[in-house]
Amino acid sequence: MSGFPTEMSRRQLLAMIGTAAGSVAMYNAMTSLGFAQESTYSGPIKLEGDPKGATVLVLGAGLAGMTAALELRDAGYTVQILEYREKAGGRCWTLRGGDKYVELGGAEQEVQFADGNYINPGPWRIPHHHYGVLDYCKRLGVKLEPFMQVNHNAYLHNTDAFGGKPQRFREIATDYRGHVAELLAKVVNQEDLDEMVTEEDAQLLLDSLKNFGRLDENYGYVKSEAASEYRGWERPPGGGVDGAPIPSETIGLSDILQSGLWANLVTGDSIDHQGTIFQPVGGMDMIAQGFEKVVGDLITYNAKVTKIDQNDTGVTVTYVDSRGAEGELTTSADYCICTIPFSILGQIEHNFSGPMTGVIDSMFYEGSIKFGLEFKRRFWEQDERIYGGITYTNLPISQISYPSNDYFSDGPGVLLGGYSWGATAYQFNALDPEDRVAKAVEYGAQIHPQYTEEFSNGVSVSWHRVPWVLGCYGIWADKETQYATAAAMDGRTLMAGEHISYLPAWQEGAILSALDAVTRLHKHVVGA
């Protein structure tokens, strides 16, 4: 067969199989990008030693800021938090019926969701290996439930493939795997491999490929009961006279390759998306509320920081009322933990060192957009038997996520009607919120025609228009040279947040960053 190497070691052969299965290649790629690393959290930290009456000012009441405040107060520090918003949580944020959100530019959206429905504009899932978030949820009494990432009954969709008709995930996944398994079986049967793979291993490999790809006795992937048990039936098994199942037709490998639908088959294999994944019961901000119950008395809300001034003895911060009330206020402390995103911090007057200022000014923030769309009924469950999971599409909305809660409930339900990044998010930025939502409905109707009749109301959050962060997560200009500078103590200030971590955009990164900052601060104070 052309296209295969004439010589192949066992390692190369197994690597090819792993690539076909998806998880190895995706995991390695994700790790190299800094997205798929396991958490280093090993349990609650212990800050032992006398803090000597030291005071700490924490800027920002997101998860990083509240984690720092909780641990520092427990260690005996006097702590104050300044928070720009009227509530805690930062990007750990949930929108429910009755909420109002004013974005940069002044456009206001009032959420009209029915009671119990919500959308998480920021983080919306917690991987099983984010031990820090999970531990704080347990300690703070935040109830969790499973989040459905992969649903084989959801869709893969490309407007230029299969006449624009969505294909069930299970059909593409099974057929792609079957065809690849057949090709690999043919490679194994070539005499060229005899010297590279033992006869025993070759037979075991063929047996495994037959099982893996649902192949027939001749190692072919064809229409069969074996394949239909995975991809679905033309007529499923039933009872009575006509109960015998009818196998379904398979999709040809060329059609699958040309469709590009294979691209999203491995998304659920990356370590950040492998089951089990969790979500807080009632919305992601239940985590923020859990922290708030413990450290809420330390927070000054609606405090917009305008100046940070540090010297050899302490840090003084000037702030104003973010709602527009006149007058400046100041507060001081011996030390500062600053969790303000660099996209905002770069606009605040400060006297950080030159190297730190250079890092702050060079970091830009990724753009993304999410849509929360409420429909009169849960048609995805009632009509299409989709319970949780994600549909992927090449449309500008990129994906549709179905709620992983309140299954089989009557009345309205909310879909994550789109979650897009980069250039696509910029295009949506240019539209008014109402027009963005209308576009999301228009695109979604190409996958679910029920959209047109069942749509009730919606909300959109474009992260470059979110006033307190101006983007989704921090992107380094040169992480290799800048990271150490950003993480180091600058005068009497330490930075913390998802941007000061190797888990960007994740709540785990924010928490680990905060724990690292307070540990180093405490070591400095105790040793002073």
Task: Map out the domains of the chain as residue ranges.
Answer: 10-32+159-259, 55-85+301-365+473-527, 97-153+275-284+367-465
**Range with lowest mean pLDDT among 10-14, 25-29, 83-87, 124-128:** 25-29
For residues 123-129, give the mean pLDDT.
96
- Residue-level pLDDT at 193: 63
pLDDT band at 275 (very low <50, low <70, confident <90, very high): confident
Instruction: Provide the H-helix boundaries in 85-231.
Output: 131-140, 169-188, 199-213, 225-231
CB 512 within 8 A of CB 501: yes
List for the chain the helix, strand, coil content (%; round to 5).
35, 20, 40
Q: What is the pLDDT of residues 448-506, one digit of tens each?
A: 999 999 999 999 999 999 999 999 999 999 999 999 999 999 999 999 999 999 999 99
Instruction: Identify the three-state secondary structure at position 492.
Output: coil
- Residue-level pLDDT at 71: 98
Choices 3.40.50.2000, 3.20.20.70, 3.50.50.60, 2.10.60.10: CATH for 55-85+301-365+473-527: 3.50.50.60
Give the residues across from 62 on adjacent strands: 89
> What percent of the chain has pLDDT above 90?
86
- Residue-level pLDDT at 34: 42
> Please, what is the average pLDDT of the chain?
92
For residues 191-203, give the mean pLDDT.
75
**Closest CA relative to residue 176, chosen from 252, 272, 270, 75:** 252
Determine the Cα–Cα distance for residues 46 and 274; give it in Å rounded to an integer.
31
Topology (CATH) of 10-32+159-259: de novo design (two linked rop proteins) (1.20.1440)
CB 60 within 8 A of CB 90: yes
Is 237's pLDDT higher than 60?
A: yes
For residues 268-296, give the mean pLDDT.
95
**Long-range contact set of residues 43-49: C-beta below 8 Å, sequence gap at least 24:** 43/135, 44/135, 44/139, 45/71, 45/515, 45/518, 45/519, 47/71, 47/72, 47/74, 47/75, 47/518, 47/519, 47/522, 49/522, 49/526
Which has more pLDDT, 220 or 14? Answer: 220
Is 133's pLDDT higher than 60?
A: yes
Is 27's pLDDT higher than 50?
A: no
Distance of CA 273 to the CA centre of its chain: 8
Is 26's pLDDT higher than 70?
A: no
Q: Which CATH architecture has domain 97-153+275-284+367-465?
A: Alpha-Beta Complex (3.90)
Residue 164 DSSP label: G
- Residue-level pLDDT at 528: 80
CB 311 within 8 A of CB 108: no
For residues 356-366, give the mean pLDDT.
97
Determine the Cα–Cα distance for residues 467 and 302; give it in Å rounded to an integer.
13
**Closest CA relative to residue 347, chosen from 469, 430, 477:** 469
CB 65 within 8 A of CB 282: no
Determine the Cα–Cα distance for residues 355 and 346; give it in Å rounded to an integer.
13
- Tokens 């983080």, residue located: 123
Q: Structure tokens of 342?
A: 């660099």
- Exposure of 67 in the CB half-sphere (CA atoms within 13 A): 30
For residues 240-244, give the mean pLDDT.
93
Residue 89 DSSP label: B
Pairing of strands 328-333, 315-321: antiparallel
